[in-house]
Amino acid sequence: MSTEVVGYIVNLLGVISSALEIYFYVLLIRVLLSWFPNLDQGNPVVSTLMSITDPYLNAFRGIIPPLGGLDLSALLAFIALNVLQWALGNAQMALLNPAIYG
């Protein structure tokens, strides 16, 4: 693989990793706002956050049902997001240093 192609792939992985980091913080804000149920009644900011994050959270809600009214699916969602970011970072390092990670 040419150096130019590797550079493009490394940059693409960096952009994806940065987007996942932004999504992490959006998800964190969404989870924190869920502690205040009165805020989501007609608030366009909260409804936008919900429309961005709920499809991702719903995937984990099917795996971990709420326990005693406590939704632990967000915990698994954060872990999955961090594992994905870690894997992208390792892929970047492997492409940048093939002799070490090859």
Is the sign of the CA dihedral 54, 45, 38, 23 positive or negative? Answer: positive
pLDDT the model gives residue 60: 92
Q: Are 75 and 32 in contact (CB under 8 A)?
A: no
Q: Stretch 11-40: mean pLDDT, rounded?
A: 90
Q: How far apart are CA 20 and CA 75, in angstroms?
A: 16
Q: Stretch 54-65: mean pLDDT, rounded?
A: 89
Q: How far is CA 58 from CA 51, 55, 70, 72, 80, in A?
A: 11, 5, 15, 12, 13
Amino acid at residue number 47:
S
pLDDT the model gives residue 101: 57
Q: Stretch 29-34: mean pLDDT, rounded?
A: 88
